Chain A
Amino acid sequence: MLNIALPKGRLGDKVYELLDSIGYDCRDIYLDNRQLIFENEATGVRYFLVKPSDVAIYVEHGAADIGIVGKDILLESGADVYELLDLHIGKCRVCVAGKNDYREDIGRRLRVATKFVNIAKGYYASINREIEIIKLNGSIELAPILGLSDVIVDIVESGKTLQENNLKVLTEIVPISARFIANKSAYKFKQNEIDTMLAMLADKLEK
């Protein structure tokens, strides 16, 4: 039995459809209830629906053998897992954004509002820019508008939210997409099952 951690929400739905299409279905997942675990003995899979930011934790600690997670979560958590495949879905970018009329004052420390503290720290350390991090958990776009920060580091998909708040992308830090991850120990003991799923996924993605 393969234990799979799926992110709740839009990305999880897309991933489940993909897994369903290669034979790892679990019809119960469509039931409209509050259940979080779905199992199909015939196909040998057990799905867990978890918060997207927790997928890597479930996999790293071995509660799930494999999981599907956004690259942003992986970079931010630094989870020690195998990153076996890029699924090329859920594509977006982690960007630095600021007000439309923003001009950077390089003589001052930069105030950066973000929920991706580690990604932001890593990026600014790579360009030797001194920053002050302001950790937020949501509505990041508000920070520069209210003068809480100079810029934000956040996920940008279409750029529409930024546009509606009179913000623009200043720099792209890293492209993001969903990744297929595996627990290092589980991969050793269930390698055949995981490799079979991987090969079918890779094949499907190529088509």
Chain B
Amino acid sequence: MQANMELNFDTRRPEERSMLALRRLYELFGYRKYKVSNFEEYGLYLQYKSFLSGDKILGFTDLDGRLLALRPDVTLSIIKNARDGETAKAYYIEKVYRESKESNTFKEINQMGLEYMGQIDNYALAETVLLAGRSLAVCSEDYLLELGHMGFVTGLLEKLEVLPAERQKIIDCLSAKSPHRLAAAAEEMGLCGADRARLLALLDLAGAPDKVLAKAEEICSGRQMQAALAELATICAALPAEVKQHIRLDFSLLNDTEFYDGILMSGYLQGIPRPVLFGGRYDSMMAKLGHDMGAIGFAVYLDELERLPLPPRDYDVDVWVQAAPDEDAAGLLARVAELTAQNLSVRVADELPPDLRARLHYQYQKGELVEC
């Protein structure tokens, strides 16, 4: 009976079901749960502000006078505690606190994610992308996992001798998929016709992997761009067909922080307007925090899953046991135990609240349940 009850959680809610399924998935691939402390030194985020999305940090002074912050990001805390020379595979379920530009307040975001730190070889990359795909599949069958590569785009910008000050503008235009804005920016920068065409061609590099990889070869030049393409080709070739059919390459997928420097991942579910998964490779970030190793990871935004539809249900509780307030507790508890043992949820009440619907209605009379 005990085991039966343990399995009887509310499986309707995708956000709860997904969290349990993701834990199992990550543990199957050797990831260990990592618990970070609730508060972090404020200075850590101040020092690496340009690597965070948004520049607002929720800080406070602790009783001992130290300036602390409620985490805007989990990865920085994990990097800080990484040990050189040891490959670490960690997953976490944590809350982060970021600004909501819309309401101009801080908001709490539930994240579940994983980080692979150490020797990042082709296997590590392919496994992480596979897990990102499987993570989305756990949430919904109708998903797309978009892959981009910072190396390909920055490689091209270096070839075109784009100044660091102009770089952000180009990235903004590419991220908005705006040919008109990108063309205007290229003209402002004085790029020649051929260079402008190469820059604008980035916007067309979106779609199924094989098609995009072939097209990307046409504007590819230099070691950095070639290495990025080869990496993406290797990953895509390694993925099983059931995941690969959901993969799209898109070179306008970029991040506006300096955090990621390699492959980028962004996951979408049909019916949810924002990405539910985001991540990528961040070797240079590891180096900046003094670690001589690579890293890749992603996070799933569990709150976004609340937008997935719930299966319709005609009632909220299986059984309403109608009992007067002064009924004998022992007898009533014994009858309720019989019902819960049959996996039926029970509400004991004299009157049922108007917003609660019960499938069955019993009345407790002289130690017995009488169906109404």
User: Do the beta carbons of B248 and A83 come within 8 Å of each other?
Assistant: no
Which residue of A61, A80, A188 is within 8 Å of B268 (Cβ)? A188
- Give the chain A neighbours of B101 by CB distance below 8 A: 78
* Interface SS, B side: loop
Contact code string A180-191 (vs B, CB < 8 Å = 1, else 0) = 000111111100
User: Which of A85, A86, A185 meets B273, CB within 8 Å?
Assistant: A185
Taken residue by residue from 126 to 158, chain A's Cβ proximity to chain B (1 for < 8 Å, 0 otherwise) reads as: 000000000000000000000000000000000
The reply on A84 being an interface residue by CB < 8 A is yes
Q: Which residues of A contact B180 (CB under 8 A)?
A: 85-86
Q: Is residue B234 within 8 Å, beta carbon to beta carbon, of the partner chain?
A: no
A82 touches B (CB below 8 Å):
yes
Those 10 A-B pairs whose CB atoms lie nearest each other, nearest first:
A62-B273, A86-B180, A82-B177, A83-B178, A83-B176, A185-B268, A185-B273, A188-B144, A188-B268, A183-B273
Indicate if A25 sits at the interface (CB-CB under 8 A): no
Residue A60 is within 8 A (CB to CB) of chain B in the complex: yes
8 residue pairs from A and B, CB less than 8 Å apart? A61-B273, A82-B176, A83-B177, A84-B177, A187-B177, A188-B144, A188-B146, A188-B268
B237 within 8 A of A: no
| Majority-rule SS of A interface residues | mixed
- Whether A62 contacts B272 in the complex (CB less than 8 A), given A78-B101, A188-B146, A188-B248, comes out as yes
A85 to B329, CA, bound (A): 70
- The A-contacting residues of B in range 91-148, CB under 8 angstroms, are 101, 142, 144, 146
Instruction: State whether B177 touches A189 (Cβ < 8 A).
Output: no
Which residues on the B side are within 8 Å of A84 (C-beta)? 177-179
Select from chain A the residue with minimum beta-carbon distance to B270: A189
Contact A189:B273 (CB < 8 A) given known A83-B176, A83-B177, A83-B178: no
Residues of B within 8 A of A185 (CB): 268-269, 272-275
Binding site for A on B (CB under 8 A): 101, 142, 144, 146, 176-181, 248, 268-275
CA distance in complex: A48, B111 (Å): 34
A200: min CB distance to chain B, Å: 16
CA distance A189 to B246 in the complex (A): 11
B residues within 8 A CB of A186? 273
CA distance A78 to B181 in the complex (A): 15
Residue of chain A at shortest CB distance from B142: A189
Q: Which residue of B lies closest to A181 (CB)?
A: B176
Q: How far is the CA of A83 from the CA of B175 in the complex (A)?
A: 9
Please name all residues of chain A whose beta carbon is closer than 8 Å to the beta carbon of B146 when the two chains form the complex. Answer: 188
B275 touches A184 (CB 8 A): yes
Which A106-140 residues sit within 8 Å CB-CB of chain B?
A: none
A 54-109 contacts with B by CB, 8 A: 60-62, 78, 80-86
Further pairs besides A81-B176, A85-B180, A185-B275: 16, Cβ < 8 Å = A60-B273, A61-B273, A62-B272, A62-B274, A80-B274, A83-B176, A83-B177, A84-B177, A184-B268, A185-B272, A185-B273, A188-B146, A188-B248, A188-B268, A189-B144, A189-B270
Q: A6 to B270: give the CA distance in the assembly, Å.
A: 23
Q: How far is the CB of A161 from chain B (nearest CB, A)?
A: 28
* B177 CB contacts on chain A under 8 angstroms: 82-84, 187
A53 CB to nearest chain B CB (Å): 14
Measured between alpha carbons, how far is A86 from B176 in the docked complex, in Å?
12
CA A62 to CA B268, docked complex, whole Å: 12
A185 to B181, CA, bound (A): 21
